């Protein structure tokens, strides 16, 4: 049995140019109009570049945008759950037929070039209500949509940069072709992805170990790049995750890699986007636990699981691996879930990464049930180095 096919059933479609083709495109871009893009747009370019957004060939036009928002379908009929777009303003002076250099000072300048085929205006409120189920400006995903410029641009993209991710993150950073080759080398075909942008506590460990029992292996897939206030720095997070994987997992059952997309905090819709690009990375399953990709109280704890049940047959080859509430039960004397533990609430300790970090930042010691001692040591050293200067 081989790996799942990339989304759409064809080959991976990486848009990243290399070698002479890349140098030639960089030279041509000096004569193009220039558009400065946001961090999210730049990181979508990187995802397009490495083939993580296969089979997209660029940023979406109006028909694709509207179909994705309202029906989670591209104009071709292919399933796609969230818009992938880039915007410009009147002052940018860009029109259909132009060739544009997409630049990001944050990521070293020229990121990609684009042949503009379409320029259109969107209903931002419609997008937010369909994609995020809210148009409240305090929702971080909504805020980014509302901050977009007046016009969306559509057209094929040629990517010339990975934004320094390979240099900064080394072997942690991996393209879909690389993870697929790794899985084949390890003899894996049933592979579950575990999404994280935080250190892993005991509940996360339990979810991954459930997957290890029924899969060939698990990809612990970390978001790389920009952090929000209070987040653990990526290098600290990586050390904490490695401490867990090295000490509490059988070698050869789990690999840890990172990807460059920026979180949208889109709850159920983002869980579906995670599924699409994890299929491109070669994963057959996605672990979907409580509050996947959620923020605040905008989504129910298991809305991201329920949305998979609404998809028409054939939308995705990847399947969700859904897991109920998990907790430490003092009567079971270990980790359990609502499906395995018969005891009352008084015996259950719900685990919280936020609580672990808050306790450590205040010089306290979390209960031993929350996290492994090797992980706590990494996090404790980090908070002690801050000398009390932390915002949780």
Mean pLDDT along residues 91-101: 98
Q: Are 114 and 85 in contact (CB under 8 A)?
A: no
Cα 268 to the center of its chain, rounded Å: 13
Predicted local distance difference test score (pLDDT) of residue 164: 96
Q: Is 67 helix (H, G, I), strand (E, B) or coil?
A: helix
CA–CA distance, 14 with 11 (Å, rounded to integer): 9
Residue 36 has pLDDT above 80, yes or no: yes
Mean pLDDT along residues 161-178: 97
Annotate 282-318 with b (16+ C-beta within 10 A) or e (fewer). Answer: bbbbbbbbbbbbbbeebbeebbbbebbeeeeeebbbb
CA–CA distance, 342 with 329 (Å, rounded to integer): 10
Q: Are 130 and 187 in contact (CB under 8 A)?
A: no
Residue 389: pLDDT band (50, 70, 90) is: low
Residue 60: pLDDT band (50, 70, 90) is: very high
Helix (H) / strand (E) element for 64: namely helix 62-71
Residue 385 has pLDDT above 90, yes or no: no
Q: Which residue has the tokens 């148009």?
A: 135
User: Given the DSSP bridges, would you call strands 118-121 and 319-322 parallel, antiparallel or unpaired?
Assistant: unpaired
Q: Are 168 and 265 in contact (CB under 8 A)?
A: no
Average pLDDT, the chain: 94
Q: Of all residues in the chain, what percent carry a pLDDT higher than 90?
A: 87
Contacts of 385 (CB under 8 A, 6+ apart): none
DSSP code of residue 79: B
Q: Are 199 and 273 in contact (CB under 8 A)?
A: no
Q: Of all residues in the chain, what percent carry a pLDDT higher than 70?
A: 97
Residues 143-153 pLDDT 10s: 999 999 999 99
Q: Are 116 and 48 in contact (CB under 8 A)?
A: no
- Facing residues of 206 across strands? none
Residue 390 has pLDDT above 60, yes or no: no
Length of the chain equals 392
Residue 374 has pLDDT above 70, yes or no: yes
Contacts of 139 (CB under 8 A, 6+ apart): 128, 132, 265, 295, 296, 298
CA–CA distance, 102 with 266 (Å, rounded to integer): 25
Residue 343 has pLDDT above 60, yes or no: yes
User: Given the DSSP bridges, would you call strands 217-223 and 191-196 parallel, antiparallel or unpaired?
Assistant: parallel
Following DSSP, what letter does each residue of 203-263 receive, concatenated?
HHHHHHHHHHHHSSEEEEEEE-S---TTPPPHHHHHHHHHHHHHHHS-TTSEEEEEE-PPP
Residues 178-236 pLDDT 10s: 999 999 999 999 999 999 988 999 999 999 999 999 999 999 999 997 666 667 889 99
The answer for 220, left when phi > 0, alpha when psi is -120 to 50, beta otherwise, is: beta
Q: Are 322 and 344 in contact (CB under 8 A)?
A: no
CA–CA distance, 150 with 370 (Å, rounded to integer): 47
Predicted local distance difference test score (pLDDT) of residue 227: 67
Least confident of 118-122, 269-273, 379-383: 379-383
Mean pLDDT along residues 348-353: 86
Residues 249-302 pLDDT 10s: 999 999 999 999 999 999 999 999 999 999 999 999 999 998 899 998 999 999
Prediction pTM value: 0.95
Predicted local distance difference test score (pLDDT) of residue 357: 80
Domains of the chain: 19-162 (3.10.400.10), 167-259+318-386 (3.40.50.620)
């Amino acid at each position: 049995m081989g790996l799942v096919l990339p989304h759409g059933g064809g080959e991976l479609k990486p848009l990243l140019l290399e070698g002479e083709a890349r140098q030639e495109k960089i030279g041509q871009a000096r004569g193009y109009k220039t558009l400065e893009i946001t961090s999210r747009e730049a990181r979508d370019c990187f995802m397009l570049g490495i083939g993580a957004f296969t089979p997209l060939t660029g940023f979406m036009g109006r028909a694709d945008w509207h179909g994705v928002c309202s029906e989670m379908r591209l104009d071709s009929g292919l399933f796609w759950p969230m818009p992938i777009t880039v915007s410009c303003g009147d002052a940018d002076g860009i029109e259909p037929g132009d060739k544009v250099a997409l630049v990001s000072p944050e990521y070293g300048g020229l990121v990609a070039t684009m042949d503009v085929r379409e320029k259109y205006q969107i209903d931002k409120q419609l997008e937010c209500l369909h994609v995020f189920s809210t148009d409240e400006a305090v929702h971080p995903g909504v805020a980014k949509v509302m901050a977009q410029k007046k016009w969306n641009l559509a057209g094929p993209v040629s990517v010339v940069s990975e934004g320094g991710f390979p240099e900064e993150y080394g072997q942690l950073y991996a393209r879909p072709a690389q993870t697929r080759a790794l899985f084949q080398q390890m003899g894996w075909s049933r592979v579950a992805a575990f999404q994280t942008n935080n250190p892993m506590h005991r509940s996360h460990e339990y979810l991954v170990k459930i997957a290890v029992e029924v899969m060939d292996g698990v990809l612990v897939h970390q978001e790389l790049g920009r952090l929000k206030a209070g987040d653990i720095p990526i290098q600290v997070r990586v050390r904490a995750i490695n401490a867990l994987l090295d000490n509490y997992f059988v070698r050869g059952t789990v690999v840890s890699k990172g990807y460059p997309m920026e979180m949208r905090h889109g709850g159920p819709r983002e869980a579906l986007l995670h599924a699409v690009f994890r299929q491109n990375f070669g994963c057959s399953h996605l672990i979907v636990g409580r509050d996947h990709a959620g923020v605040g109280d905008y989504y129910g704890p298991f809305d991201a699981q329920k949305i998979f049940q609404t998809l028409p047959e054939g939308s995705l080859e990847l399947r969700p691996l859904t897991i109920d509430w998990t907790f430490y039960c003092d009567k079971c004397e270990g980790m359990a879930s609502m499906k395995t533990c018969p005891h009352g609430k008084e015996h259950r300790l719900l685990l919280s990464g936020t609580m672990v970090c808050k306790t450590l930042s205040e010089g306290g010691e979390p209960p031993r049930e929350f996290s492994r001692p090797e992980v706590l040591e990494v996090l404790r050293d980090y908070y002690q180095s801050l000398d009390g200067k932390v915002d949780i």
